[in-house]
């Protein structure tokens, strides 16, 4: 749980500031052992904890009665909307996407000032989900509205790419999509002769560029816009 809270590709606003190897987008569970890492609470965590000493939350015994813990955190913003969550129970499940902090803060203020604010008025403030990666959301505004109205639906995303020295460089992938897996799928298409216009693939991802996948065309006459679409 702590590792997830430190991964900027898992949490939109990480609660833990980790130093060392805390996993990678391709393999979130590749984090180092506890003795090789250090951590501290992130600045964002103050939104959840800063008012604990002001009597704003009731305290109860913990699971074995040895310590006191707050019954709930006096969050200054709804963290469940900012970072999202996934839950599975018997016969039901939920998947709440993360959202932009500034938009949610403005929406909360609007609801406090005008409790009868409509869904359409809120959606003028909150444009939609805001995932940790920079991939583009391609779901239409009408579909996004239906998701917020009914609580059901799916959000579609696509990778962000650009042309660089004749090749295509993918710099962002949809949330929880593995770059290594994407390259494997493209390589399989190449082996099956379904991508004759592609000559080479490279994974140049590193610490500075967490996602950098390079697709090299067979010649400079290849229309890479058509290939990517």
* Catalytic residue ranges: 36
Backbone φ and ψ for 35, nearest 5 degrees, come out as -70, -10
Q: Can you spell out the DSSP letters for 31-78?
A: PPPGGG-EEEE-GGGHHHHTTGGGT-S-EEE-TTSSSEEESS---SS-
Question: Which bin fits 23, alpha (ψ -120 to 50), beta or left (φ > 0)?
Answer: left
CB 31 within 8 A of CB 25: no
Nearest in space to 126 (alpha carbons), one of 146, 102, 149, 143: 102
**How far does the chain reach from its first CA to its final CA, in angstroms?**
37
Beta bridge partners of residue 160, listed in sequence order: 172
- Can you tell me whether residue 166 is helix, strand or coil? coil
């Amino acid at each position: 749980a702590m590792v997830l809270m430190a991964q900027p590709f898992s949490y939109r606003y990480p609660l833990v500031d980790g130093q060392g190897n805390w996993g990678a987008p391709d393999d979130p569970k590749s984090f180092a052992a506890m003795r090789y890492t250090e951590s501290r609470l992130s600045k964002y965590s103050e939104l959840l904890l800063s008012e604990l000493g002001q009597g704003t939350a009731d305290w109860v015994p913990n699971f074995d009665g040895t310590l006191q813990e707050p019954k709930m955190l006096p969050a200054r913003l709804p963290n469940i909307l900012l970072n999202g969550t996934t839950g599975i129970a018997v016969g039901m499940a939920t998947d709440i996407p993360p959202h932009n902090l500034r938009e949610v803060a403005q929406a909360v203020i609007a609801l406090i000032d005008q409790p009868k604010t409509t869904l359409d008025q809120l959606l003028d403030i909150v444009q939609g989900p805001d995932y940790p990666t920079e991939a583009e959301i391609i779901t239409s505004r009408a579909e996004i509205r239906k998701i917020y109205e009914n609580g059901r639906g799916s959000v579609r995303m696509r990778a962000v790419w650009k042309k660089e020295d004749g090749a295509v460089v993918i710099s962002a992938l949809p949330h929880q999509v593995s770059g290594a897996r994407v390259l494997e799928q493209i390589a399989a298409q190449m082996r099956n002769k379904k991508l004759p216009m592609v000559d080479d693939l490279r994974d140049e991802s590193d610490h500075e560029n967490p996602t950098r996948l390079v697709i090299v065309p067979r010649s400079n006459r290849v229309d890479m816009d058509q290939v990517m679409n």
